Amino acid sequence: MSSSSFRNGGASSSTSSYNSKSSNGIASKVVDRQLSSSVNSNLKSPSTSSSNSSVKAKPSLRRSSTGSIGGSAVTASAKNDSGVRGRVRVAVRLRPRNAEEAVSDADLPDCVELQPELKRLKLRRNNWDTDTYEFDEVLTEFASQKRVYEAVAKPVVESVLEGYNGTVMAYGQTGTGKTYTLGLLGEEDTAARGIMVRAMEDILSEIVPETDSVSVSYLQLYMETIQDLLDPANDNISINEDPKTGDVSLPGATLVEIRDQKSFMELLQLGEAHRFAANTKLNTESSRSHAILMVHIKRSIKGKDSIHSSENGNVSHIAKSLKPPIIRKGKLVVVDLAGSERIDKSGSEGHTLEEAKSINLSLSALGKCINALAENSTHVPVRDSKLTRLLRDSFGGTARTSLVITIGPSPRHRGETASTIMFGQRAMKVENMLKIKEEFDYKSLSRRLDIQLDKLIAENERQQKAFQDEIARIASEAEKHIAEAERNYDDALEKERLKFQKDYMNLTQKVEEQFSNQRKRANGKAELEPVDDNDDKISKQSAMLSAEINELKKLLQNETHLRKTAEEEISSLRNQLAQWKRLEATKNSEILRLRKMLEDESNGKKKYEKEIAVLQSQLFQLSFEADETSRRLDKGGNAKLSSDLGSLSPQVNHQVLKESGDGEKASMAKLFEQVGLQKILSLLEAEDADVRIHAVKVVANLAAEEANQEKIVEAGGLTSLLTILRNSDEENIQRVAAGALANLAMNETNQELIVSQGGISLLSMTAANAEDPQTLRMVAGAIANLCGNDKLRTKLRGEGGIKALLGMVRCGHPDVLAQVARGIANFAKCESRAFSQGSMTGRSLLIEDGALPWIVQNANNEASPIKRHIELALCHLAQHEMNAKDMIGGGAVWELVRISRDSSRDDIRNLAYKTLTSSPIFQAELKRLRIDYA
């Protein structure tokens, strides 16, 4: 392995980003868990031995006595918020001699001797004596990048995937291969890939894209300023520390969601292109800043079944569906520290000298913190440097930390090598308390319950409709059968009646005729025949008539029987109809029962929504401090606020009066916690002006914390602030209200709410009427934040936002002008993106509103913030050909040429150069002006 391979590598590329939001509806719950036995086995108790001299001692590792191994079971220690002890693991890596050392030190032996099989390192004090040190891993100059990753970083990456925080850091002298070990991309040779690339490969291979997410931030700490390597304009990021958990976060940093390895490589290339480096005597590409890669991982896991089985072995389906999914969060921090160096050896001078001083001061602060932790000191000077604040969780915190120290073999740098070794030895004495973080995803549970409820309602409606259709069909068929039977019966009865009536009439007539004939014959023969014979004949005839009458009666009885049979059939059909009606009543009762079940489901949903709200309110953090200078409450205002709040809470009133008597201001955080957000917002409408001012100040301080912004908006705080800005004539209240709106406008969701409620018009009106520079600065800051939203570009300009910004330059105050310049730069950047995406054509709205003359005039402003933003705005305006003619006529070409040569920012200078060389219109103008530009 040649020393030339120990270098930085990368190329610029573009990447998309989005702001990190805090998930709504998730109640955080930190659950401590035990690491697996394989993790504990990697933590080796260090010991020392001697060779011809004194031996450096190391402490033995204290192991946790708990026996739970990995898994998802919650240990008993979770109740008292304890964790698993984990010592900082330290590996040492030796760089081979470079070309210069091979020549200059050819006759001198190496100052170090490695014994990797014993995990020992010997450092020569002179030709006779050596000091022996032991480390967790000793890596020779022949160790491959894969071997280094598996020994140093892979256990940390595995822990992060299980839900722990982890840190991998490189420390050593300039030119010993820290960036090579961590950040080498390996584009030409995949075997040369560094820890960053290999760690992301392992992470992406383990996650499930449908349920898990990976997000990355890439930053640099340069001259005690945290800068975003993915967005160079974001060059002053603040550090937030959770007062309860101690977690460190960077809310202003760009957070990019990673889906594949290719996008991550492009992100690293972009970040490396923006990182500061310089040529020194010790390294041709010496990093002048500390690079920090933060990887945030969210993994969804299947929660344990906490529902006990019933006696018959069945588990309630509804109870199972109400069990929320569990999300594990892990954070991997990879830190490539800038190299320590001695000024006389590196030959630094000028600005490079100032960079070296800043690097050495931050590394010195880190060393002091590690010394204090190693010695169990009561005070650890964490706040001496932003580097130590960023690494607060890595040393003495809750993260699992691996440190690789890089050294060189040259005897000329024995002092630096010894210092690096002692840093690693002290770091091995630091123990962290490893904790796992899990969250219950109540939002996902609520969404799943909504889907189940919709399915139940749809299924019930479908069954109800089918049942009603079936009832209607059966009733229709029954009515048809009954009508048909009645009609057939009436027809048959009428036919039989007519038939028998006719037969009866015919038979009666026939009998009467026969009887009349027989009677006539009888009267004629009466004189000839004896009386007895005549009587016999009459008797026979009467018998015949009786037989016929009996026959007619039988026929009539048959017809009567048939009619009864038909009536019985009709009765049977009516009984069937009654049965169908009873069945319909039964189905209706079933429908009522199902509706009752739906109501119970709805009530259960509301109950869990209330529980979710309670959990959210319990997790709401009320941590802010009032500004000790400009925001200090005067005694009179303090007493006035105390009297107004007295009716709200006697305990708060007593506390405020007590602190006022002592001459100290009341703690706004404690006041907010005891009074409550709703009561503080109600004071915004108080009649007393002093009370309104103090209430607006409290809300403004709350809005400065991102964790409080959503609560303020939900409670109606945004609407109240806009109402105050619309109705109040007092400039003090307008200034503080505008400041609160500026804080809320840092959130993209809040930006859309502000615009939808007429916030731009109100801010523009306030800017037109205000004279105080501080009020104008707050208003300009709020509008500048809104200018960075692509979706609001047209509406912002239509409601006078750009005109308002340009109108505020009348003040001339540098702070106001800086905010105006920032707003114009944000708007120009949005337009540049819109032009490149094809969603905007025509001239820039800034140019149409007359902003170009002021931009050109202030492009070389003495104030650095104004100048930087104006230069960036000019470069973005020049990206579109439609603006070129106006910019040439307005004299912007000369400023672009100056920016491309003299700008203090490399990214702005390169952007201006690229614009001038790629635009035919600008090239033609430069040629006309006889400016030799290449």
Helices (H), strands (E): how many in the chain? 35, 20
Q: What is the DSSP string of 805-850?
A: HHHGGGS--HHHHHHHHHHHHHHHHHHHHHHHHTS--SS-HHHHTT
- At residue 221, φ and ψ (nearest 5 deg) are -100, 105
Q: Strand pairing partners for 89?
A: 402
Mean pLDDT in order along the chain per 10 residues (934 residues): 37 32 33 34 35 36 30 33 76 89 78 92 85 94 93 94 93 90 87 93 90 92 89 88 80 91 91 74 67 92 46 48 75 89 62 78 90 88 89 86 93 89 93 81 70 86 90 90 89 87 86 83 64 63 79 85 87 87 86 87 79 52 42 42 37 37 43 65 74 78 78 83 82 83 85 86 86 88 88 85 88 89 90 83 85 87 85 86 84 84 84 84 81 67
Do 666 and 655 meet the contact criterion of CB atoms below 8 Å apart? yes
3-state DSSP assignment of residue 112:
strand
Q: Where are the beta strands (DSSP E) in 377-533?
A: 400-407, 431-434, 437-440
Q: Where are the beta strands (DSSP E) in 244-352?
A: 248-249, 256-257, 277-278, 286-287, 290-301, 326-336
Do 261 and 201 meet the contact criterion of CB atoms below 8 Å apart? yes
Angle at the Cα of 644 from the Cα atoms of 641 and 650, rounded to 5 degrees: 100
User: What tokens does 350 get?
Assistant: 């000028």
pTM over 0.75: no
pLDDT at 49: 34
- At residue 560, φ and ψ (nearest 5 deg) are -65, -40
Do 185 and 194 meet the contact criterion of CB atoms below 8 Å apart? yes
Distance (Å) of CA 474 to CA 468, 566, 583, 656: 10, 22, 11, 78
Class of residue 106 by CB neighbours under 10 A (exposed 0-12, middle 13-18, buried 19+) = exposed
pLDDT at 73: 31
Class of residue 260 by CB neighbours under 10 A (exposed 0-12, middle 13-18, buried 19+) = exposed
Class of residue 560 by CB neighbours under 10 A (exposed 0-12, middle 13-18, buried 19+) = exposed
Those residues whose C-beta lies under 8 Å from the C-beta of residue 33, and which sit 6 or more positions away, are 68, 70, 71, 72, 73, 74, 75, 78, 84, 162, 163, 435, 436
How far is it, in rounded angstroms, from Cα 888 to Cα 877?
Answer: 12
Do 733 and 695 meet the contact criterion of CB atoms below 8 Å apart? no
Class of residue 898 by CB neighbours under 10 A (exposed 0-12, middle 13-18, buried 19+) = middle
Q: Strand pairing partners for 171?
A: 405
pLDDT at 645: 36
User: What tokens does 730 get?
Assistant: 């007092």
Alpha helices per DSSP H over 60-106: 99-104
pLDDT at 281: 52
pLDDT at 116: 92
Helix 635-645 and helix 650-661: axis angle, to 10°?
Answer: 170
Number of neighbours of residue 250 by Cβ within 10 angstroms = 19
Q: Residue 746 has what DSSP assignment?
A: T
Q: Which of 276, 263, 411, 286 is nearest to 347 (CA)?
A: 286
27-29 vs 130-134, strand pairing mode: unpaired
pLDDT at 613: 59
Identify the sign of the CA torsion 772, 778, 782, 784. Answer: positive
pLDDT at 83: 59
User: What tokens does 49 get?
Assistant: 């031995």
How far is it, in rounded angstroms, from Cα 849 to Cα 420?
Answer: 59
3-state DSSP assignment of residue 354:
helix
Do 111 and 118 meet the contact criterion of CB atoms below 8 Å apart? no
Distance (Å) of CA 101 to CA 173, 284, 410: 15, 14, 7
